[in-house]
Amino acid sequence: MAREEQQISRNLDWVTVLLFLICVGVGWSNIYAAVYDPEHPLWVFDKEFYDTNAGKQIIWIGTTILLIISILVIDYRFYETFAFFIYGFFILLLIGVILFGATINGSHSWFKIGGFSLQPAEFAKMATVLALARYISTPLVNLTRFRDQFNVALIVAVPPLLIIASNETGSALVFASLMIVLYREGLPGIYPAILLTLITLFILALLVESLYIFIGLLILAGIIILIQPRYERTVRNAVLLGVIIAGMMALVFAVDFVIEDVLKEHQRNRIKVLIDPTIDRKGVGYHVTQSKIAIGSGGLLGKGFLEGTQTKFDFVPEQSTDFIFCTIGEEHGFLGSIFVISLFIALLLRLVYLADRQKSRFARVYGYGVASIIFFHFLVNLGMTIGLMPVIGIPLPFFSYGGSSLWSFSILLFIFLKLDSQRSQMLARW
């Protein structure tokens, strides 16, 4: 046992561990700042302190350390061997939360356990990445074949569909980031191209009149025909191009239907605020408006730790959770914000480096999955706080308050660090 502990300590990537510890530490200090009451200051020795988000987060951090130790002492083969079982377990939890879960902030995606709440959707990301890595690393799996493409699509699609059924759209969107992993492992480029095209058309449909988009697509079709070699100007190609243009227009016209007749009112309002944040500054646009004011008021150096006025007077809702970056921007200014962004960039680059050096395809795919999910959360959360993306309830990894978030990201990360520490022993299957 002692020899195994020494081996783990020697082979563990301490650079990533250090980045993790800095993120958690800086995150907690900003959670404390977000809930700090200057008229009734509390510290860790006060009993009432543990009724605040900062106090509860200390408890979550302590339990996270125990989880990390457990992950590191478990045999690395466990994660690959039982990947599908872990995936199946969390699928059952997602079904269970639909049937027996509690509703918090309009999302029926929580299990209430005493005074704490757990959100299975956060852990389903880790389980899906494990199952995806396990399947892709299976001998003879080839992502250029339709059968294997269908299987990976099924693995990735089931959790977000169940998450959407529990009214938690934000967490469901995270799974789209796994397209990066699939493309890296051989999925034909046409699939990410289609996804990017659909996203582009959706955004255009929100910003531009449908008639103008239709005219633009017709001009694009004409350009394609003109630049085609003569031998490719066949009836078959013309029909195919017509079908593609018709499908794109159908999507554009469907956007209005989806927004007005499918989405719920709060989801519809978030999209409208993204297009025009000024439409209702005191209503649906309040979060984004106050968030931008808080970040902008920090200036270059910020107002100082515990000195943020937007924070102290609760102008920004959910400031210790989804809008924790506002506290960073207000109290630590532009330089503090750059420091946090640099932390995430360093962490992501390190994860990509570690993923690239894996001898096992399972570990490599899993590593890229970890990087993709953290990248998506980081990008969307920052986009939310500065008004570039709709408010969809995406936490900032290791910074936002919440046990489910901290646990899930820590488990996600340290399973990969465990695999990396044993890379010399893992079977190379390409």
Query: Does residue 62 or residue 33 have the better pLDDT?
Result: 62
Query: Does residue 15 or residue 2 have the better pLDDT?
Result: 15
Three-state secondary structure along the chain?
CHHHHHHHHHHCCHHHHHHHHHHHHHHHHHHHHHHCCCCCCCCCCCHHHHHCHHHHHHHHHHHHHHHHHHHHHCCCHHHHHCHHHHHHHHHHHHHHHHHHCEEECCEEEEEEECCEEECHHHHHHHHHHHHHHHHHCCCCCCCCCHHHHHHHHHHHHHHHHHHHHCCCHHHHHHHHHHHHHHHHCCCCCHHHHHHHHHHHHHHHHHHCCHHHHHHHHHHHHHHHHHHCCHHHCCHHHHHHHHHHHHHHHHHHHHHHHHHHHHCCHHHHHHHHHHHCCCCCCCCCCHHHHHHHHHHHHCCCCCCCCCCCHHHHCCCCCCCCCCCHHHHHHHHHHHHHHHHHHHHHHHHHHHHHHHHHCCCCHHHHHHHHHHHHHHHHHHHHHHHHHCCCCCCCCCCCCCCCCCHHHHHHHHHHHHHHHHHHHCCCCCCCCC
Confidence of residue 246 (pLDDT cuts 50, 70, 90): confident
DSSP structural state of residue 426: S
Q: What is the pLDDT of residues 220-242, one digit of tens each?
A: 878 877 777 776 777 777 788 78
- The pLDDT, as a whole number, for residue 284 is 55
- The pLDDT, as a whole number, for residue 50 is 80
The predicted model gives 186-210 an average pLDDT of 80
Residue 119 has pLDDT above 70, yes or no: yes
Structure-derived torsion over alpha carbons of residues 263, 267, 269, 274, reported in degrees to the nearest 10: -120
Give domain limits for the chain. 2-187+277-421, 193-262
Query: Which of 127-136, 187-196, 336-345, 394-403 has the lowest average pLDDT?
Result: 187-196
Q: What is the C-alpha separation between 190 and 187, in angstroms, rounded?
A: 8
Among 11-20, 115-124, 252-261, 271-280, the range with the most confident prediction by mean pLDDT is 11-20
Q: What is the pLDDT of residues 16-55, one digit of tens each?
A: 999 999 999 999 999 988 888 777 777 777 777 788 888 8
Confidence of residue 427 (pLDDT cuts 50, 70, 90): low
Q: What is the mean pLDDT of the chain?
A: 84
| pLDDT cut 90: percent of the chain above it | 39
The predicted model gives 410-420 an average pLDDT of 95
- The pLDDT, as a whole number, for residue 129 is 96
Which residue(s) pair with 394 in the sheet?
Answer: none
- The pLDDT, as a whole number, for residue 19 is 96
Q: What is the C-alpha separation between 3 and 385, in angstroms, rounded?
A: 47
Residue 290 has pLDDT above 70, yes or no: yes
pTM listed for this prediction: 0.88
Q: What is the pLDDT of residues 319-332, one digit of tens each?
A: 777 888 888 988 89
- The pLDDT, as a whole number, for residue 93 is 93
Confidence of residue 430 (pLDDT cuts 50, 70, 90): very low
Residue 105 has pLDDT above 80, yes or no: no
- The pLDDT, as a whole number, for residue 324 is 87
Burial group, residue 89, by CB count within 10 angstroms (0-12, 13-18, 19+): middle
Confidence of residue 159 (pLDDT cuts 50, 70, 90): very high
Closest CA to 79 of 151, 134, 140: 134
The predicted model gives 386-392 an average pLDDT of 77
Residue 428 has pLDDT above 60, yes or no: no
Q: What is the C-alpha separation between 351 and 229, in angstroms, rounded?
A: 44
Query: Does residue 63 or residue 46 have the better pLDDT?
Result: 63
Contacts of 218 (CB under 8 A, 6+ apart): 245
